[in-house]
């Protein structure tokens, strides 16, 4: 079995651990040996029976391990490239984790380090980049394109042929109309309805979604 380390200890990280355990229930594939987290108060603790091995920088010393990232809240999603780069781990040592209940089309593609959680659906010819996380019950429709480091929260519905940029955050239960483009580094608020393109680095909220502020 592959020795797996999860970056972070937040809720998404625990969901990743449970996805791994569901994968193993069908066919043992991973031994989750620990988490890495920079928070001093989390050192020496265990979460769901798995220990925190140290800060992110320790990743470079775990030569026989593979990794997956769970860090990426509404407050930190723009820093995901920096967080992952700090580990010094090459791209090929990041695992793509798909919960057994998720439905992923055979014609869809998922990049290294991407996570697809419970009951998510990824339809025909969708393309998802690296280090993206798709939370439970979300739908990516046919021909959608999702950039690296993006987070799609729970219950999001993305219509067909949508382009979502790099380092975006789509809040829970938002909906995106077909053929819309969401620019790099943008955030869509919880429950928002996006009918038109969103420029890079913007936060949009509401029904229909409107500009609220810059994302930085």
Strand partners, 7: 36, 69
The whole-angstrom separation of Cα 34 and Cα 132 is 21
pTM for this prediction: 0.96
Among 93, 118, 142, residue at a domain's last position: 93
Q: Is 23:97 a contact under the CB 8 Å cutoff?
A: yes
CB proximity list for 60: less than 8 A, separation 6 or greater = 87, 88, 89
The whole-angstrom separation of Cα 7 and Cα 23 is 19
The whole-angstrom separation of Cα 191 and Cα 153 is 11
Closest C-alpha to 132, from 159, 119, 118, 113: 113
The whole-angstrom separation of Cα 39 and Cα 215 is 25
Looking up residue 107, the CATH number of its domain turns out to be 2.160.10.10
Residues 78 and 103 in one domain: no
- Host domain of residue 121: 97-208
Helices (H), the chain: 11-26, 80-85
Residues 104 and 29 in one domain: no
End-to-end CA distance of the chain: 41
Per-residue pLDDT of the chain (216 residues; tens, 9 = 90+): 999 999 999 999 999 999 999 999 989 999 999 999 999 999 999 999 999 999 999 999 999 999 999 999 999 999 999 999 999 999 999 999 999 999 999 999 999 999 999 999 999 999 999 999 999 999 999 999 999 999 999 999 999 999 999 999 999 999 999 999 999 999 999 999 999 999 999 999 999 999 999 998
Residues 85 and 147 in one domain: no
The whole-angstrom separation of Cα 90 and Cα 172 is 31
Going by their DSSP bridges, the two strands 121-122 and 133-134 should be labelled as unpaired
What pLDDT digit, counting tens, does each position of 49-106 carry? 999 999 999 999 999 999 999 999 999 999 999 999 999 999 999 999 999 999 999 9
Task: Please tell me the total count of domains within the chain.
Answer: 2
- Rounded to the nearest angstrom, the gap between the alpha carbon of residue 152 and the centroid of all alpha carbons in its chain is 7
Radius of gyration, CA atoms only, the chain: 17
Question: Largest alpha-carbon pair distance within the chain?
Answer: 49
- Residues marked active site are found at 142
Residues 145 and 84 in one domain: no
Residues 28 and 108 in one domain: no
Residues 36 and 115 in one domain: no
């Amino acid at each position: 079995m592959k020795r797996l380390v999860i970056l972070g200890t937040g809720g998404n990280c625990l969901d990743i651990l449970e996805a791994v355990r569901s994968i193993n229930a069908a066919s043992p594939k991973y031994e989750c040996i620990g988490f890495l987290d920079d928070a001093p108060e989390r050192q020496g603790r265990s979460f769901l029976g798995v220990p925190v091995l140290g800060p992110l920088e320790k990743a470079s010393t775990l030569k026989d391990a593979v990794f997956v990232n769970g860090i990426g809240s509404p407050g930190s999603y723009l820093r995901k490239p920096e967080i992952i780069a700090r580990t010094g781990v090459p791209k090929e040592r990041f695992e793509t984790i798909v919960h057994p209940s998720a439905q992923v089309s055979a014609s869809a593609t998922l990049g290294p380090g991407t996570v697809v959680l419970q009951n998510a659906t990824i339809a025909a010819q969708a393309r998802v980049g690296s280090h993206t996380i798709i939370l439970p019950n979300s739908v990516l429709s046919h021909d959608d394109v999702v950039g690296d480091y993006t987070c799609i929260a729970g219950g999001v519905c993305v219509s067909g042929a949508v382009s979502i940029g790099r380092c975006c955050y789509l809040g829970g239960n938002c909906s995106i109309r077909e053929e819309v483009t969401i620019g790099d580094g943008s955030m869509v608020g919880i429950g928002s309805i996006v009918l038109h393109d969103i420029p890079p680095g913007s936060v949009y909220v509401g029904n229909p979604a409107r500009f609220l502020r810059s994302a930085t």
